[in-house]
A and B are shown apart, each in its own frame.
Chain A
Amino acid sequence: MKSYLIRRLLLMIPVIFGVSVIIFTLISLAPGDPFAQMIEANPSMSRADYENLLNSIGYYDPIPVKYAKWAKQVFSGSLGYSISQKQPIADMIGRRLKNTLLLSIPALVLSTIIAIPLGVLSATKQYSFLDYILTLLALAGISIPAFFLALLLLKYLAFDLKLFPLQGMETIAAGYTGTRWLHDRLHHLALPLSILTTIQVAGRMRYTRSSMLEIINQDYIRTARAKGLGEKSVIYKHALRNALIPVITVLSISLGSLLSGAILTENVFMWPGMGTLVYQAISNRDYPLVMAGTMLLALSMLIANLLADIAYAFADPRIRYD
């Protein structure tokens, strides 16, 4: 296992390198430049000043040279320097990362806690009224886009009924402390968290259901019944353990989308997380920032995949790495 892990970690290096080259090339080939918006907003800026600005950030360098400059900055520890924000990227991302995780980790935990029992229930009571209702809800959850659901909630609960704040993650400049502060935070968290949880519950529940249905028809479940075990024991000890193996794998992989999974939700609610940051960076053609964001996503995907493989080995005694 240990040597396997080391091998996998070492293998990540060329993968990350490849990913960075591809993303960098794609971004550099995209039309537009970091100052296009600036010149639109400020027509008095002269053409010469504009060109000077572009030259100063090496906009006209060949792509390999640009890449080399970028890579040097990354290794210096600052992860590069944002063109639009004029700050070291490492500082900016740290804060945004925290905000995103504040939203996506509770959503992951909550949706898992809700989805697995519902999936099991749906499977053990296949074709029952409950199963139909859950199937219908899951279908709705999967097919209604997150941003649309988010806009609906915003319109009715936040705008019309004023039950929740419209955007952001806290009441700005209110200076709340203690429980008031916590309450304000939770109040802001409620809507985006519900949206993110809902979309995740739908898929995960269906996945648990189908995995469970497959296991229930296995020979060893019949053996368990033939031993005289009660239905609870059959389902929760014999079936669920097996049904959860693929679910655990999928869950580990979804850790990789902790950073990216909330992009749309974050933008609708103006949640100051990674999603909004990367989205703005793309509109601004702030390529060092886009690079940093996407590389972080790629890295988290790779780590999540590795975690999935490790979790698999723990959950299933048939899997051994060496």
Chain B
Amino acid sequence: MSEILRIRDLAIDFNTSEGIVSAVRGVDLKISEGEVLGLVGESGCGKSVTSLAVMGLLPKPEGVLKSGQIIFENKNLTAFREEEWQKIRGNEISMIFQEPMTALNPVLTIGDQLGEVLQVHKGIRLGSKENIDICVENLIKVGIPRPQQVLNEYPHQFSGGMRQRIMIAMALSCDPKLIIADEPTTALDVTIQAQILDLLRELKETMKTSILFITHDLGVIHEMADRVMVMYAGKIVEEGPTKELFANPSHPYTQGLMHSRPGKVKKGDPLYCIPGMVPSGRQQIIGCAFEPRCQYSFRPCKTICPLLEFNEKGHGYACHLSKEGGIANVGKAVNISN
């Protein structure tokens, strides 16, 4: 499969009034054609910032691309001018956001907001029959009843789930090569969440679009992704094919995440949670970012930043224990401590 997106050594800082926040600290990432890559990690670890960087939508002027390249279909997006970005956004790469309640413009009709994507990228005039037909078709694709009327209605007339469907329809408008879904179900309640996931899975089967699927929910990742990357404090700490990674979670952080899934706990037992907190991007991190929370921390962890080491199955993790032959030992230790 050919590669559609590659990110190399991406680092992003925010210049805030309280100093510099390092949100992303060297991320490498690759998505192939038709692949769903799951990006998982606790809130605040830099998932959204990474995805906004791919869209060229880092908040200005505080968000700064410190280093790295974003290569989409052999085009280096990081060198793009604003007008070049505009041709890509919503057209070849589109995005679904976390908050469907606020992501749609309250004073414009659904038809207006859906149709304008077609007008901008395909030159199909807003309000023309062709434009309306395509919008209706897209609304049907995402399972919205009575699409004709919906086009004349306003966002406030719809529930969160419906609005997210509309956002998905919008993202599909120009048959993008890559869809970035940033926690598309997090803000929805559980039954709606399941419906939206079903829809996304169905679209994944039929459309063959690549998807960068961002979530903090391992269950969701397990269902959706072909490959998974685990992010911690602005870095990738583990990466591998979904089946392989879920069978052999190797980084202590990934193991912690797996253990904190509610389904893993026997009835009556307290839920497991990883002790401590995600480091704020403000502090300088020299060694392993997870070290303060890690029960296996030993000498090199504080001072040397571990690199991702891959095995022959394409599964890799960044931990000094890997050199100590520690995967099996680590696994046992967790079971004992739990």
Residues in chain A within 8 A of chain B (CB atoms): 218-220, 222-231, 233, 237-238, 241-242, 245, 315-318
Whether the pair B91, A228 counts as a contact (CB closer than 8 A) is yes
Residues in chain B within 8 A of chain A (CB atoms): 55, 57, 82-83, 85-91, 94-95, 97, 99, 102-108, 116-117, 120-121, 154, 156, 167, 170
**Given A222-B57, A223-B97, A317-B156, are A228 and B121 also a contact pair (CB < 8 Å)?**
yes
Give which listed residue, A218, A223, A229, A318, contacts B86 with CB less than 8 A: A229
**Given A219-B103, A220-B102, A317-B107, are A228 and B86 also a contact pair (CB < 8 Å)?**
yes
Question: What's the least CB distance linking A234 to chain B, in Å?
Answer: 10
Whether the pair A226, B104 counts as a contact (CB closer than 8 A) is no
Query: Which of chain A's residues have a CB closer than 8 A to the CB of B104?
Result: 220, 223
Whether the pair B102, A218 counts as a contact (CB closer than 8 A) is yes
Whether the pair B170, A219 counts as a contact (CB closer than 8 A) is no
In the bound complex, how far is the Cα of B97 from the Cα of A218, in angstroms? 13
Question: What's the least CB distance linking A318 to chain B, in Å?
Answer: 5
Give which listed residue, A226, A238, A241, contacts B55 with CB less than 8 A: A226
**Given A229-B86, A317-B156, A318-B106, are A219 and B97 also a contact pair (CB < 8 Å)?**
yes
> Can you list 30 pairs linking A and B with CB atoms under 8 Å apart?
A219-B102, A219-B103, A220-B103, A222-B57, A222-B97, A223-B103, A223-B167, A224-B105, A226-B57, A226-B95, A226-B97, A227-B90, A227-B170, A228-B86, A228-B87, A228-B89, A228-B90, A228-B121, A229-B90, A230-B86, A230-B120, A233-B116, A237-B108, A241-B105, A241-B108, A315-B107, A316-B107, A317-B106, A317-B107, A317-B156
Whether the pair A318, B55 counts as a contact (CB closer than 8 A) is no
Query: Which of chain A's residues have a CB closer than 8 A to the CB of B107?
Result: 241-242, 245, 315-317
In the bound complex, how far is the Cα of B99 from the Cα of A128, in angstroms? 31
Whether the pair B106, A220 counts as a contact (CB closer than 8 A) is yes
Q: Which residue of A lies closest to B106 (CB)?
A: A318
In the bound complex, how far is the Cα of B111 from the Cα of A317, in angstroms? 14
In the bound complex, how far is the Cα of B105 from the Cα of A218, in angstroms? 9
Whether the pair B116, A227 counts as a contact (CB closer than 8 A) is yes
Give which listed residue, B57, B102, B121, contacts A225 with CB less than 8 A: B57
